Chain A
Amino acid sequence: MDRFISKLLFIAACSSIAILALIALFIFKEGVPIIIRSGLGHFLFGRIWSPLEGQFGILPFIIGSLWVTAGALILGVPLGVACAVFLAEFAPARLAAVLKPAIELLAGIPSVVYGFLGVMWLAPIIRVHLGGPGLSILAASCVLAIMILPTIVGVSIDAIHAVPRSYKEGSLALGATEWQTAWRVILPAARSGILAGVILGMGRAVGETMAVIMISGNATQIPHSILDSVRTLTANIAIEMGYAVGDHREALFATGIVLFFFIMALNTVALRVARRRF
């Protein structure tokens, strides 16, 4: 009987891998031909996206994804890690019991709501005070920074809790202050765990679609400043999928392949880093 169940579970486990394999197979089958036809170099480094005229350069979108993600990390990581250190080390237990679920709740807000807030509230502020169209890299980065907070905070708190108590006690016993202990001992010891959280957050930022479509303006140019509008890889697929036929459709699948490698690389790095834990 046990063997039967373990077989059944094995089949269940295989099915999820099979789904992944099928998805990969399908994306590649649909997307690879256009990459071959227009040339990998032209596809990846072409600057002009004009699908109805047969020009499929996705460099602006690769750069757009990188900018938006980098912006989200620059804003979100210090905030998230600081938040995690406070909650794990300094906050009174009662306060932490309220704050931690509140931050986790951020993860439950649908991304379209974030996008809506960004359009109605953040973009006009940026346009009035900083210039540009408002729907920009900066706006998208701000919203994504908030969206990746729960991931970074949650994983970082776990990493900090995983640091052996003796480290902290030893440091305090040597006369270091609480702050010195947190900054010099606990954070370095929890580094790999925190890094894993950051990379998971990065994966979410790269993959986010709805909110980004709403607040990044989706221009097909290569941005010159953080106040310029950009289009990310995910947004490009989502915006044009509905209309695309023929080569255009294949080019969107090819965009998906690039995104696929992007996220695979991130996850591999995350796994590597996370494994180097205590």
Chain B
Amino acid sequence: MNRISMKALAVFVSCGFVFAALASNGCSRASANSITLAGSTAFQPFAEKLAERYGETHKDVQINVQGGGSAVGIQSALSGAAQIGMADLLELPPEAAALKSTVVARDGIAIVVNPVNSIKALTIDQARDVFSGKVANWKDLGGSDSPIHVISREEGSGTRRSFDKLVLVGAKLAPSALFQNSTGTVRQAVASDPTAIGYVSIGLVNDKVKALTYNGVPANDTNVKNGSYPLARPIFLLTKGEPSPQTKAFLDYMLSDEAQKTLEKEGLIAAK
């Protein structure tokens, strides 16, 4: 009895070691033949689509696309955790100076409300007042008498930083603002609340939410491209040092006409 239990214990313990060894081994082997992209949740769905397309013709390469936000994109490119960092920012922060950056696309930010909301347009000042909490009721904008629920992205999000710079311009976000930690959940929150207002990538606007015109200009790709719609920011791809041939090939693919066309079809604005 004693011997059996001892054996069982020995097996149990050695299993642990073997498992740990396998896990660490597996990780290092995976990285040799795979490319990891991490960062901006706004660009993530598009990167996934491109990775999928690329994978159809390049079966030997495995591409992992992770979210996390633009700051994660910069951090993981710096640390080498990801071969390619993704960041959607108006301008890159100083810590990204060590990275090589390429603009892969541009993306507009649409201010969205629930489809039942009667408001269709905001001026520059109105938008700033709403998001800074100065105007807190829809009736002040000509809508129904109900409080405005501002929904924002959390501190550190690339979309948030760009939005703060472009719309709030120095003013502070309303303290009562709710926070959602991805573009998709902001859209969901606005879609389920008739009195909510939020902001999402133009590419992610669907029929569940209504995009407002900003300063009289409708939020759509054409207007972002010709520069008349001002709420837009570039999406950067960041690499550290000289990329490996595989990474380089995928980067080139993302900038190729074919991939850029796909991005345009999905709702982004091509870089070229």
A residues neighboring B (CB under 8 Å):
1-2, 4-5, 8, 50-52, 119-120, 123-124, 127, 133-135, 213-214, 217-221, 228-229, 231, 239-240, 242-245, 248
A5 to B69, CA, bound (A): 49
Question: Across the interface, do A124 and B154 meet the contact criterion of CB distance under 8 Å?
Answer: no
> For B156, what are the chain A residues with a Cβ–Cβ distance below 8 Å?
51-52, 240, 242-244, 248
- Evaluate whether A221 and B176 lie within 8 angstroms (CB atoms) in the complex, with A120-B192, A123-B192 already known: yes
B164, closest chain A residue (CB): A52
Question: Across the interface, do A242 and B176 meet the contact criterion of CB distance under 8 Å?
Answer: no
Most B C-beta atoms less than 10 A away, residue of A4, A52, A220:
A220
A2, closest chain B residue (CB): B2
Question: Across the interface, do B72 and A243 meet the contact criterion of CB distance under 8 Å?
Answer: yes
User: Does B54 belong to the interface (CB within 8 Å)?
Assistant: no
Contact of B192 among A8, A124, A220 (CB under 8 A): A124
User: Does B75 belong to the interface (CB within 8 Å)?
Assistant: yes
> For B172, what are the chain A residues with a Cβ–Cβ distance below 8 Å?
50
A8 to B175, CA, bound (A): 55
- Evaluate whether A133 and B192 lie within 8 angstroms (CB atoms) in the complex, with A240-B154, A244-B156 already known: no
User: Does B6 belong to the interface (CB within 8 Å)?
Assistant: yes
Given contact pairs A239-B154, A242-B181, A245-B75, a sample of 6 additional A-B residue pairs in the complex whose CB atoms are under 8 Å apart: A124-B192, A135-B178, A218-B181, A240-B154, A243-B71, A245-B71
B158, closest chain A residue (CB): A243
> For B179, what are the chain A residues with a Cβ–Cβ distance below 8 Å?
217-220, 231, 239
Question: Across the interface, do A218 and B180 meet the contact criterion of CB distance under 8 Å?
Answer: yes
Interface CB pairs A-B, < 8 A, 8: A119-B189, A133-B193, A229-B178, A239-B181, A242-B72, A243-B154, A244-B156, A245-B71
Question: Across the interface, do A5 and B6 meet the contact criterion of CB distance under 8 Å?
Answer: yes
- Evaluate whether A218 and B178 lie within 8 angstroms (CB atoms) in the complex, with A133-B196, A135-B189, A243-B154 already known: yes
A213 to B178, CA, bound (A): 11
Question: Across the interface, do B71 and A244 meet the contact criterion of CB distance under 8 Å?
Answer: yes
Question: Across the interface, do B178 and A1 meet the contact criterion of CB distance under 8 Å?
Answer: no
| CB within 8 Å of A: which B166-187 residues | 172, 175-181, 185
User: Does B144 belong to the interface (CB within 8 Å)?
Assistant: no
Question: Across the interface, do A221 and B189 meet the contact criterion of CB distance under 8 Å?
Answer: no
> For B68, what are the chain A residues with a Cβ–Cβ distance below 8 Å?
242-243
